[in-house]
Amino acid sequence: MAVVSTRNLTKVFKEGELGAVNNVNLETREGEFLVFLGPSGSGKTTLLRMIAGLETPTAGEILIGGKVVNDLTPRERRIAMVFQSYALYPHLTVYKNIAFPLKAQNVPKDQHKQKVEWASSLLGIGDLLQRKPRELSGGERQRVALARAIVREPSVFLLDEPLSNLDAKLRLSAREELERFHRRVGTTTIYVTHDQVEAMAMGDRIVVLNKGVVRQLGSPKEVYDDPADTFVATFLGSPPMNLIENADVICGFRPEHFRLAEDMKETAKINFQFRVENMEYLGAEYILSGNIVGGKVDGKKVIARLLLGHSFELGKTYDFAVPERHLKFFDVKTEVKVAPRPLTWQ
Amino acid sequence: MAVATGKIKSMGAAKSPLLGFAMFSPAILYIVLVIGLPFVMAVFYAFSDARIGSNELHFVGLENFRSIIQSPSFQKSLQNSIVFTIASQVIVMVCANILAIALEKPFRGRGLVRFLILLPWVAPVSLGTIGWKWILDSIYSVITWVLVWLHLVKPFDTPMWLGEPRLAMTSVVLVHCWRLIPFSTVILLAGRTAIPKEIPEAAAIDGAGFWRTTFQINLPMMKPIIAVALLFGTIFTFTDMTVVYILTAGGPFDSTQTLPSFAFATGITGSDLAAGAAVSVFLVPVLVLIAYLMLRMAHRAEMA
Amino acid sequence: MKDGKKGKGVSRRDFMKIAGIGGVGAGVVGPAFIFPERAAAQQKTLKILQWSHFVPAWDEWFNKTSTVEWGQKNNTTVTVDNINLVDLKTRAASEVSAKKGHDLFMFLSPPAAYENQVIDMTNVYKEVEKKHGKKIDLAHKSTYNPKTKKYFAFSDAYTPDPGNYHKEWWAEAGYPNGPDTWDDLRAGAKKIRDKNGHPCGLGLSQELDSSMAMRALLWSFGGAEQDENGNVVLNSKNTIEALKFMKALYQESETAEVFTWTPPSNNQAMLAGRVSFVANAISISRQSEREKMPIDSKIGISQALKGPVRRIAAEHVMNCYVVWEFAENKDGAQKFLIDYMDHFHDGFVAGQFYNFPCFPKTVPDLKTEISNDPRSNPPDRYKVLGNVLDWATNVGYPGYASAAIDEAFTTFVIPTMFAKVARGDETPENAAAAAHKEYQRIFDRFK
């Protein structure tokens, strides 16, 4: 087990251009599952590849287990990585794929069989050992990739979007499997994804990245409930947080906190007239989108998410409200979180 | 543009097979006239008593083959062809792989280096070989001149690059390699770039060093493309007579004579067309088998 | 080959028709094929192909004087194409395959293989002999097939193959007039080699000059490829003696360069002052004269070396003109040859005595002329060639230059045999037996 940390880590691919990763300072905790979350181009994969040793940092340091590893090869960093494409060796059988790291790191030959069997049984692929990768399904390939990663018991796991090549159904079960697997081996894991649901579900903590900069680092709950800026606020959650500019701040509230006023028990709340323009029925809930009517923010588009139990008509206006404690405040210019303040809405 | 393409496609594919045939016919014509017809004639001649200068042909069965097999020059040529092909292919494959690895990663001036390496292939083979003939000449060799100048050899006991059987064979092989390496390098470079870059990265993370990655990951994955390069190289080498003909004309005393050069000497200059044809088609069954096995290997490896 | 089997076979011409125009030599068809009218216009054409002469002045005379004058007299446009001598056979093969090409084609060796593709030259010989007397036996043996009684070619000239030696070194070695016998050659060459390192340059390569030199050696020791009647007699005690001699000569006085040579190589080696002796035509000293090289005064010419049995050497090259059966202007080609012999002496002079006459009466004062050569220093350098007819003979001696002899010649069986023994890769006995077997194999193919 080891802790990975970065100090002012920066990667600039082309001189004079904006860095892919800028000044990143992070530290994992022992045995935690840390997720790098961000849209494509946010620098999350580059950051991971620098930690793996596949990319040389332009500036800054990477530490694994307290040691600077900038000049170490991937082999010397004692990490394991699972690639988005799994990068299985197509000409080798599953057994040889899994045994490859053992061979490469000169583990005595008599231990190979036992270790491969251990890793493959952990992932339930014991009966696939003599197959070639092309004879495996997507889920099986992912498990082989994982087995190959754990077989030499690395100090850190790096996973680069390992679920993105699976179809939706398989993805859910694979996700659960990964979580269970992590609980079992307890190795420090860094997981890269652009899927906020995955991040929320799996991460002990989430690092939200945008344009090579860390926007927020926190537990899923912190990141969701208390976003550090408007980027985090809108990137997480589906549908995203409603943002309404009022005076010198941006106010935000989650769609699920925008409800019919009559259902609301809270007394400290802000009332809005909401005209429903569109309605999506999702089985367990509605997604309503429409405009606020009247008041200071007349005409602003907002989205509401409601459980079933009411019926709405398109074009009609309803009494809606947001509990005050669920209002978030961001600076208009910097878009960074600021302290709550009283505002007039009418 | 898109409309036009679509039109041609639909015409070619469904409505008018004639267009497809018309587009294809130059290639077919070329193959039939330049390869097919001479080949059929060669096979035909090999079973006849054809001579340059004779007016009629008779079928003589395997007589030509029976006759040439007894010729010491033929036996030597057969042996030399095999040595020539295997030796040059081994060298070509090793060098082309090294070059492909060296040229894969970008560096300053890579474009220029790639261009220079390609030159021997682009230049007409006869010109390049004549250049080598001068370089290896018995009187005017620059290599010998330098060696003499460095006092490494005595002026009248210089190595005869094309005069000693072993040296001559080595020279012929190396000149042929010089010409063929660029071709194989280009093929192998294409093969290397076709390997997804995560695979060697995964190997690096798994702890494999350069040699292990090269020999256990990259090369096995390039098997199909190596097979193709090897197949082409083998056929180019086996059927090539330019290098041998210009450098040594088969000498000294047949020690670099290969089947194509011997076929030429017998069939054309010796005017015994039938024997020449028999020499030249002698190994066709073997070559076809080699081609078949290599293509099958390439196909299998590709499926893997 | 023609007799007996007739009727059974497919005619080649038919095959070519079925197959369309064969790939080989298709290029030659070009112009005449596209403009058949032009070829048949009032002004006749005569197309000649021959080698690029080793003495360029001869080409100059032939191309710009001789043929031009004849053309004006005979209302004919004469074109002459000159190609490298090593390409002659290839070119001939492609012309025959395409059944198109030149009217007059000159080989440098007896082209017996082409007998069925060429017209009989008996008439040309007859016409020429009326004016210029009998041809020499060398010409007869090189162009006549005794079985079919056909002259398949016409020889106007041949070139002697004397020795060329470095006068200074040979004088130092005790041979001021160069070697006279093969034993002289061996002893003198060894002395020179031992003293100053310069090797002897008797070729052992797969090329023309080596082929001729090795035949001279073979015959001088009493060996031969065939007898008068065309039976293979190569494997003999005499052949083995010749082989032993060459092995000793090579190991004492030569270097491996002789295995690498092409026809010009021994010229270069002699002119570069590298070797002490080569067997070659007079093109070497002609070049040193023309280019006023310092080595010119040191090059001496010796007649064929005398062996234990006889003094003999092959012609160096044998001019053999053929007229293709399919030539467009056969009459013109024959008339040209007959008329050309009237001016042979001009060519003899223009070619700086390279082309020796097959009709001795065309150059009646040959001995005097070659003994007083204004270009040469000394003027009598070539005097030794005066008795050349005593020792020059044809390939295939003592028999005819048959097609089988030609195939064995072009596949270099003789120089290969000598080279293997010289290097010690084969014993003289085994090499002679193997070469004999190969000759027998080739001869069998013509039965």
pLDDT, one tens digit per residue, over A201-216 is 999 999 999 988 999 9
Question: Is the CB of A85 less than 8 angstroms away from the CB of B204?
Answer: no
pLDDT, one tens digit per residue, over C168-180 is 999 999 999 999 9
Nearest to A104 among B198, B207, B301 (CB): B207
Q: Are residues C137 and C52 in the same domain?
A: yes
Judge whether C96 lies within some domain.
yes
What is the helix, strand, coil percentage profile of chain C, to 5?
50, 15, 35
Question: Is the CB of A104 less than 8 angstroms away from the CB of B201?
Answer: no
Can you say whether residue A329 is alpha, beta or left, with left for phi > 0 and alpha for psi between -120 and 50 degrees? beta
Which of A197, A195, A165, A159 lies closest to A178 in space, CA to CA? A159
CB of A241 within 8 A of CB of A233?
A: yes
**Which pLDDT does position C445 carry in this prediction?**
85
**Cα B19 to Cα B22: distance, rounded to the nearest angstrom:** 5
pLDDT, one tens digit per residue, over B105-122 is 888 888 888 888 888 888
The DSSP code sequence of B166-220 is HHHHHHHHHHHHHHHHHHHHHHHHHHHHTS-THHHHHHHHTT--HHHIIIIIIHH
- Residues 6+ away with beta carbon under 8 Å from B192: B100, B101, B104, B218, B222
**Nearest residue of chain B to residue A54 (CA atoms):** B201
- Enumerate the residues of chain A whose CB falls inside 8 A of the CB of residue B223: 91
CA C290 to chain centre: 23
Question: Is the CB of B207 less than 8 angstroms away from the CB of A52?
Answer: no
Mean pLDDT, rounded, of chain B: 84
Mean pLDDT, rounded, of chain A: 88
Name the domain boundary from C345, C377, C409.
C377
**Which pLDDT does position C42 carry in this prediction?**
65
Between A and B, how many CB-CB pairs are < 8 A?
Answer: 66
Q: Are residues C223 and C286 in the same domain?
A: yes
Nearest to B253 among C15, C19, C416 (CB): C416
| Arithmetic mean of pLDDT, B153-179 | 85
**Cα C361 to Cα C128: distance, rounded to the nearest angstrom:** 11
**Nearest residue of chain C to residue B133 (CA atoms):** C260
**Which pLDDT does position C30 carry in this prediction?**
35
**Residue B295, min C-alpha distance to chain A (Å):** 17
Chain A interface, best mutation among B198, B201, B205, by max A CB count within 10 A: B205
C302: domain CATH number is 3.40.190.10
- Enumerate the residues of chain C whose CB falls inside 8 A of the CB of residue B137: 260
pLDDT, one tens digit per residue, over B189-206 is 888 888 888 898 999 888
Question: Is the CB of B301 less than 8 angstroms away from the CB of A91?
Answer: yes
Judge whether C13 lies within some domain.
no
pLDDT, one tens digit per residue, over A78-89 is 888 999 888 999
**Nearest residue of chain B to residue C197 (CA atoms):** B156
Residue C401: pLDDT over 60: yes
Q: Which chains touch B (3 or more CB pairs under 8 A)?
A: A, C
pLDDT, one tens digit per residue, over A2-40 is 789 999 999 988 877 778 888 889 899 988 999 999 998
Q: Are residues C238 and C192 in the same domain?
A: yes
Which of A290, A287, A286 lies closest to A302 in space, CA to CA? A290
Residue A341: pLDDT over 80: yes
Radius of gyration, alpha carbons of chain B: 24
Q: Are residues C405 and C330 in the same domain?
A: no
Q: Are residues C88 and C189 in the same domain?
A: no
The dihedrals phi and psi of C173, each to the nearest 5 degrees, come to: -80, -5
Residue B286: pLDDT over 60: yes
**Which pLDDT does position A96 carry in this prediction?**
93
The DSSP code sequence of C141-178 is HHHEETTTTEE--B--EEE---EEEEHHHHHHTT-TT-
**Which pLDDT does position B250 carry in this prediction?**
79
Do the strands A269-281 and A285-293 form a parallel or antiparallel pair, or are they unpaired?
antiparallel
DSSP H or E segment with residue C10: strand C10-11
Judge whether C1 lies within some domain.
no
| Arithmetic mean of pLDDT, A282-299 | 87
What share of chain B has pLDDT > 90, as a percent?
14
**Which pLDDT does position B303 carry in this prediction?**
60
CA A194 to chain centre: 6
**Which pLDDT does position B302 carry in this prediction?**
63
Chain B interface, best mutation among C88, C206, C243, C425, by max B CB count within 10 A: C206
What share of chain A has pLDDT > 70, as a percent?
100
Nearest to B269 among C1, C89, C116 (CB): C89
| Arithmetic mean of pLDDT, B35-49 | 88
pLDDT, one tens digit per residue, over A78-117 is 888 999 888 999 889 999 999 999 998 888 988 899 999 9
**Nearest residue of chain C to residue B167 (CA atoms):** C256
- Enumerate the residues of chain A whose CB falls inside 8 A of the CB of residue B217: 89
Q: Are residues C59 and C123 in the same domain?
A: yes
ipTM for the predicted complex: 0.80
Task: pLDDT band for C206, please (50, 70, 90 cuts).
Answer: confident
Do the strands A33-37 and A188-193 form a parallel or antiparallel pair, or are they unpaired?
parallel
Which of B267, B268, B288, B290 lies closest to B279 in space, CA to CA? B267
Residue B137: pLDDT over 90: no
**Cα C194 to Cα C119: distance, rounded to the nearest angstrom:** 55
Q: Are residues C82 and C208 in the same domain?
A: no
Lowest mean pLDDT among A34-48, B160-174, B262-276, C9-23: C9-23
Question: pTM here?
Answer: 0.76
Are 3 or more Cβ–Cβ pairs between B and C shorter than 8 Å? yes
Judge whether C24 lies within some domain.
no
DSSP H or E segment with residue C366: helix C366-371
- Enumerate the residues of chain B whose CB falls inside 8 A of the CB of residue A94: none
Q: Are residues C221 and C349 in the same domain?
A: no
| Arithmetic mean of pLDDT, A284-313 | 87
Question: Is the CB of B304 less than 8 angstroms away from the CB of A134?
Answer: yes
CB of C213 within 8 A of CB of C281?
A: no
**Cα A193 to Cα A99: distance, rounded to the nearest angstrom:** 28
**Cα A87 to Cα A280: distance, rounded to the nearest angstrom:** 40
**Cα C221 to Cα C83: distance, rounded to the nearest angstrom:** 36
Judge whether C233 lies within some domain.
yes
pLDDT, one tens digit per residue, over B63-73 is 889 888 888 88
| Arithmetic mean of pLDDT, B38-56 | 84
The DSSP code sequence of C16-47 is HHHH-S-STTHHHHHHHHH-HHHHTSSSEEEE
Q: Domains in chain B, please, with CATH?
A: 72-303 (1.10.3720.10)
**Which pLDDT does position A246 carry in this prediction?**
82
**Cα B264 to Cα C401: distance, rounded to the nearest angstrom:** 21
pLDDT, one tens digit per residue, over A26-77 is 899 988 999 999 998 888 999 999 999 998 999 999 999 888 999 988 888 8
- Enumerate the residues of chain B whose CB falls inside 8 A of the CB of residue A116: none
**Which pLDDT does position C204 carry in this prediction?**
92
**Which pLDDT does position B15 carry in this prediction?**
59
**Cα C189 to Cα C276: distance, rounded to the nearest angstrom:** 7
Which of C418, C414, C391, C237 lies closest to C310 in space, CA to CA? C391
**Nearest residue of chain A to residue B217 (CA atoms):** A89
**Cα C94 to Cα B269: distance, rounded to the nearest angstrom:** 11
Task: pLDDT band for B301, please (50, 70, 90 cuts).
Answer: low
Question: Is the CB of C260 less than 8 angstroms away from the CB of B248?
Answer: yes
Question: Is the CB of A105 less than 8 angstroms away from the CB of B223?
Answer: no
Residue ranges with strand state E in C308-371: 313-314, 317-318, 320-323, 356-357
Q: Are residues C403 and C349 in the same domain?
A: no
Name the domain boundary from C377, C407, C425.
C377
Residue with tokens 């490896």: B301
Question: Is the CB of C410 less than 8 angstroms away from the CB of B270?
Answer: yes
Residue C34: pLDDT over 70: no
Domain count, chain C: 2
Which of C129, C159, C93, C98 lies closest to C320 in space, CA to CA? C159
Residue C9: pLDDT over 70: no
**Nearest residue of chain A to residue B208 (CA atoms):** A104
Q: What is the 3-state secondary structure (H, E, C) of chain A?
A: CCCEEEEEEEECCCCCCCCCEEEEEEECCCCCEEEEECCCCCCHHHHHHHHHCCCCCCEEEEEECCEECCCCCHHHHCEEEECCCCCCCCCCCHHHHHHHHHHHCCCCHHHHHHHHHHHHHHCCCHHHCCCCHHHCCHHHHHHHHHHHHHCCCCCEEEEECCCCCCCHHHHHHHHHHHHHHHHHHCCEEEEEECCHHHHHHHCCEEEEEECCEEEEEECHHHHHHCCCEHHHHHHCCCCCCEEEEECCEEEEECHHHCEEHHHCCCCCEEEEEEEEEEEEECCCEEEEEEEEECCCCCCCEEEEEEECCCCCCCCCEEEEEEEHHHCEEEECCCCEECCCCCCCCC
Instruction: Establish whether the linkage from the previous residue to B252 is cis, with ω within 30° of 0.
Output: yes
- Enumerate the residues of chain A whose CB falls inside 8 A of the CB of residue B218: none
Question: Is the CB of C441 less than 8 angstroms away from the CB of B71?
Answer: yes
| Arithmetic mean of pLDDT, A322-335 | 90
Q: Are residues C105 and C186 in the same domain?
A: no
Judge whether C435 lies within some domain.
yes
> What one-character DSSP code corresponds to residue B81?
H
| Arithmetic mean of pLDDT, C373-384 | 86
Lowest mean pLDDT among A188-192, B33-37, C35-39, C97-101: C35-39
Residue A204, Cβ density class (10 Å: 0-12 exposed, 13-18 middle, ≥19 buried):
middle
Q: Which of A285-299, B9-23, C418-432 has the highest mean pLDDT?
A: C418-432
3-state secondary structure of B59: strand
pLDDT, one tens digit per residue, over A129-155 is 999 998 998 888 988 998 898 888 888
Residues 392-431 of C with CB under 8 A from B: 403, 406-407, 410-413, 415-416, 419-420, 423, 425
Nearest to A75 among B199, B204, B304 (CB): B204
Name the domain boundary from C348, C377, C406.
C377
Judge whether C3 lies within some domain.
no
Chain C interface, best mutation among B33, B52, B154, B255, by max C CB count within 10 A: B52
Q: Where are the alpha helices (DSSP H) in chain B?
A: 2-10, 17-30, 37-46, 63-69, 72-104, 110-122, 125-135, 142-149, 165-193, 198-205, 210-212, 219-221, 223-239, 242-247, 259-264, 273-281, 284-303
Q: Are residues C262 and C398 in the same domain?
A: yes
Nearest to C93 among B34, B58, B271 (CB): B271
Question: Is the CB of C260 less than 8 angstroms away from the CB of B160?
Answer: yes
**Cα C399 to Cα C226: distance, rounded to the nearest angstrom:** 7
Q: Are residues C129 and C234 in the same domain?
A: no
Residues 18-57 of C with CB under 8 A from B: 19-20, 22-24
- Enumerate the residues of chain B whose CB falls inside 8 A of the CB of residue A74: 201, 204-205, 207
- Residues 6+ away with beta carbon under 8 Å from B302: B224
CB of C70 within 8 A of CB of C339?
A: yes
**Segments forming the whole domain that contains residue C201:** 163-315+391-445
Question: Is the CB of C403 less than 8 angstroms away from the CB of B162?
Answer: no
**Which pLDDT does position B154 carry in this prediction?**
77
Residue with tokens 């028709």: C17
Angle subtended by helix axes A138-150 and A109-122, to nearest 10 = 130
Is B37 an interface residue toward C (CB < 8 Å)?
A: yes
